[in-house]
Amino acid sequence: MESLAVFDKTCEKAQDLMGLEPVPGDFLIKKTLMELLLAHVDIKPEWTGLEIGCGSGFQSALMSGKVRKLVATDMPFLNLATHSMGISAAGSLLKKSGAENVKLASCSGESLPFPDGTFDFVYSIAVLEHIDNKEKALKEMFRVLKPGGIVIFCVPTYIASLCAFPHLFLYMARRMADVAAAKLFRKSASGPGDNGRPSGDILGSFRKSHPSFPLPEPHGSYRNIFQEFNQQLPWNWMKLARKSGAASIDTFALLFLPFNILEVFSTRAIAWIYARTRYLHYILGRTLFQYFCYSWCVVAKK
């Protein structure tokens, strides 16, 4: 197998883009994931592609070096509920990256403003799980696809739902440690009469953002963690692709690390481990181990 380092100019510029990185290690994680994706999927340089939910635009910048033209979409404004960064975030990064063959379009994945049969391929990474009507979104992706084109969607699996349980309690312990540290700091820094309360209601904020406690909140657009677990089973993702218009399906794993557990400690460390084990991820990606991965990829042909 050829080297997984499939990017050239964009990767050289990655260091210059770090000021736009939303979370430490985020760009390295995305770069590694895209390397694995393009090691499994043959994207032709003459193709025109569409990205659903481009986020920061970093993945769009990476993909731009592999294709003739790319249209990257996202919601118009920041929306924490759907994890959308807003289209302006991608605009800033793409301008700085020099990716001149990427055009931005603000729209929902459930209603794409493009004619039938426009694109050679359509892809989304960690987006479909956040869309309310996933079947409608996938049908829209197939609609704008040329005959024989491919839809690629990378999604979490039931393993991510299982990992949400230890993540919740590790996160809670981390927040309690923050409270204790804040109280200790305030006591040592304050004079007599100060009650030593930490600034900000950390525990109140936790309760507000975790109304299902002691159960974890679903990460995507699901009623609860149990619906999320069921719908993220690999065969249910494949069933959804077939219902939406797939003539044939190929699958492989992209990530085996328990991401949401490790992120409690350090997203930068996850990125470092992922980058240095990417070849192992590639080797295991098409074995039976793929059904026990954290993040999965479905390539569906129209």
| pLDDT for residue 124 is more than 90 | yes
- 130-180 pLDDT tens trace: 999 999 999 999 999 999 999 999 999 999 999 999 999 998 888 788 777
As a whole number of angstroms, the distance between CA 285 and CA 267 comes to: 22
| Average pLDDT score over residue span 118-134 | 96
Counted residue by residue, the chain has a size of 302
Q: What is the mean pLDDT of the chain?
A: 87
Q: pTM of the full predicted structure? A: 0.87
pLDDT at position 80 is: 60
Report how many helices (DSSP H) and strands (DSSP E) the chain contains, helices first: 12, 7
Domains belonging to the chain, first-starting first, are 9-157+233-301 (3.40.50.150), 162-209 (no CATH)
Q: What backbone torsions phi and psi does residue 155 show, to the nearest 5 degrees?
A: -140, 160
Residue 59 DSSP SS3:
helix
**CB half-sphere exposure, 112, CA atoms < 13 A:** 26
- 2-57 pLDDT tens trace: 445 545 555 555 556 767 788 889 999 999 999 999 999 999 999 999 999 999 99
pLDDT at position 88 is: 85
Higher pLDDT, 8 or 269: 269
| DSSP 8-state symbol, 197 | P
pLDDT at position 191 is: 45
